Amino acid sequence: MSDKPKVYTDEEVAEMLTRSSLNEWFLEEGWLRRKVSTDGWQTTLQVVNTVGFLCEAAWHHADLSVSWAKITIKLKTHSAGGITDKDFALARKIEDVVFWRPEAGGALEGTPNKFVKVEKSRSSDS
């Protein structure tokens, strides 16, 4: 039995993204990617720190491209040479934490500002 995790094909990655409800993630140049827009630098740093914390806790690290109000998160299992279950699990955790919002009427009322914007932008510009 091999210690090396399964590396998914491009077709399997597309299927896993759909099945996992990771609709904002996409495959590009061998990486799982997610582009995030924020309302400015302070929120960008909050997202970067949150992603960094999750990566450290998971011992699986993202590549990040960061600018004033945009972040690109890239995941790949370097040791396996491609996309593995580790990448999907970390993408799911990033989605669940970074994009979590309190439920209406719940004990946590939430911020009136939308500090992390949900966009469907897959362009390569940052």
Boundaries of every domain in the chain: 10-100
Q: Name the CATH superfamily housing domain 10-100.
A: Transcriptional coactivator/pterin dehydratase (3.30.1360.20)
Segment holding 67, helix H or strand E = strand 63-67
Which carries the bigger pLDDT value, residue 119 or residue 78? Answer: 78
Q: What is the tens place of the pLDDT at every residue in 9-46?
A: 999 999 999 999 999 999 999 999 999 999 899 999 99
- Rounded to whole angstroms, the Cα distance separating 5 from 81 reads 10
| pTM, rounded to two decimals | 0.85
Q: What is the pLDDT of residue 123?
A: 44
In one-letter notation, the amino acid at residue 8 is: Y
Q: How many helices (H) and strands (E) does the chain have?
A: 3, 5
- Rounded to whole angstroms, the Cα distance separating 88 from 84 reads 7
- Rounded to whole angstroms, the Cα distance separating 120 from 25 reads 9
Q: What is the tens place of the pLDDT at every residue in 61-79?
A: 999 999 999 999 999 999 9
Q: What is the pLDDT of residue 118?
A: 59
